[in-house]
């Protein structure tokens, strides 16, 4: 009931004709829920909106970026947090460019009210125009696992949509930061005292096919955040430097600080 009321308040804010304040935008990001509006089962489409406080943590990784693209932007949680970080601390905010790609027009309409400073493109991220290039950073909380897809990444041929999205991002930006299911990250950190590297066969396939290595973050435990609106996925933040593609041979060598991983990497 409280959720329905808060969602209605978010809708009322969106229906006003004036620009929203910072507090109002964040209220919408925290409380707008598609499931309160329609009979669509949001989770089937993989549309778990990121809790705003987690989005703000992830935005630590956009520091220094001027051009950013958000793939599968939803209503704009990641893009909003990134935007706030990109312009933060400047008396006269620097020029920044944010592009949000989202295929659901209802989300795009909400996103345009939450972050009108961004360019919102209602499109399929697997069929983007060629002129979307040269971003400093790509961010995404993509659909996870075997969600239905219209296309695939340019190199990866496996089953995980999150890896396909990262593969797409690698051709658009110099670096990336993503939320992925914990099982798709090469480490276990969030929600467990047993911190360790753990590379699945599917991760190794992704790395071998794309040359992309997913790296650890600065120690963000995503499990502390409630606010997933009805779901509670276990996720990790992974970072990547897309300018550093590894060859198959390099991927087989143990990283200097992870001698114990040799067997896994060579698998």
Positions that interact with ligand SAM (CB under 6 A): 45-50, 72-74, 77-78, 101-104, 107, 124-126, 141-143, 150
**Which residue's CB is nearer to ligand SAM, number 144 or number 187?**
144
Distance of closest approach, residue 92 Cβ to ligand SAM, in angstroms:
29
Q: Which of 58, 49, 103 is nearest to 77 (CA)?
A: 49
Distance of closest approach, residue 48 Cβ to ligand SAM, in angstroms:
4
**Which residue's CB is nearer to ligand SAM, number 125 or number 240?**
125
**Which residue's CB is nearer to ligand SAM, number 49 or number 187?**
49
**Which residue's CB is nearer to ligand SAM, number 72 or number 186?**
72
User: How crowded is the C-beta side of 257, counted as CA atoms within 13 Å?
Assistant: 2
Distance of closest approach, residue 69 Cβ to ligand SAM, in angstroms:
12
Both tokens of 131, joined, read 């002129």
Both tokens of 207, joined, read 């790395």
Any idea of the CA torsion for 59, 65, 174, 123, to the nearest 10 degrees?
70
Q: Which of 168, 157, 162, 174 is nearest to 238 (CA)?
A: 162
Distance of closest approach, residue 216 Cβ to ligand SAM, in angstroms:
20
**CB of 162 within 8 A of CB of 144?**
yes
The number of beta carbons lying within 10 Å of the beta carbon of residue 15 is 8
- What is the C-alpha to C-alpha distance for residues 125 and 141, in angstroms, rounded to an integer? 13
**Which residue's CB is nearer to ligand SAM, number 88 or number 127?**
127
The number of beta carbons lying within 10 Å of the beta carbon of residue 1 is 5
- What is the C-alpha to C-alpha distance for residues 55 and 115, in angstroms, rounded to an integer? 14
Distance of closest approach, residue 77 Cβ to ligand SAM, in angstroms:
4
Distance of closest approach, residue 242 Cβ to ligand SAM, in angstroms:
19
**Which residue's CB is nearer to ligand SAM, number 34 or number 199?**
34
Residues written for the chain? 267
Conformational region of residue 176, where left means phi above 0, alpha means psi within -120 to 50, and beta covers everything else: beta
**Which residue's CB is nearer to ligand SAM, number 140 or number 210?**
140
Both tokens of 63, joined, read 């520091």
Residues in a beta bridge with 101: 71, 121
Distance of closest approach, residue 225 Cβ to ligand SAM, in angstroms:
12
């Amino acid at each position: 009931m409280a959720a329905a009321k808060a969602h209605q308040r978010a809708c009322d804010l969106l229906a006003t004709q004036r620009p929203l304040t910072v507090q109002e935008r964040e209220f919408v990001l925290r409380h707008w829920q598609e499931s309160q509006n329609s009979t669509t089962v949001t989770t089937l489409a993989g549309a778990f909106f990121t809790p705003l406080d987690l989005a703000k943590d992830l935005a630590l990784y956009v520091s220094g970026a001027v051009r950013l693209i958000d793939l599968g932007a939803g209503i704009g949680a990641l893009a909003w947090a990134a935007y706030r970080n990109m312009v933060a601390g400047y008396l006269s905010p620097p020029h920044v460019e944010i592009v949000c790609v989202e295929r659901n027009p209802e989300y795009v309409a909400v996103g345009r009210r939450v972050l009108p400073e961004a360019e919102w493109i209602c499109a399929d991220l697997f069929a983007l125009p060629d002129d979307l290039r040269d971003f400093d950073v790509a961010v995404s909380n993509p659909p996870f696992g075997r969600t239905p897809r219209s296309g695939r990444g340019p190199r990866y041929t496996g089953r995980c949509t999150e890896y396909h999205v990262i593969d797409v991002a690698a051709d658009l930006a110099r670096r990336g930061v993503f939320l992925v299911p914990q099982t798709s990250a090469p480490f276990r950190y969030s929600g467990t005292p047993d911190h360790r590297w753990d590379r699945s066969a599917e991760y190794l396939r992704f790395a071998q096919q794309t040359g992309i290595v997913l790296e650890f973050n600065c120690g963000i435990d995503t499990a502390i955040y409630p606010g997933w609106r009805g779901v509670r996925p276990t996720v990790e933040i992974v970072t990547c430097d897309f300018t550093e593609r590894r060859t198959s041979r390099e991927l087989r060598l143990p990283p200097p600080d992870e001698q114990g991983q040799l067997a896994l990497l060579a698998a």
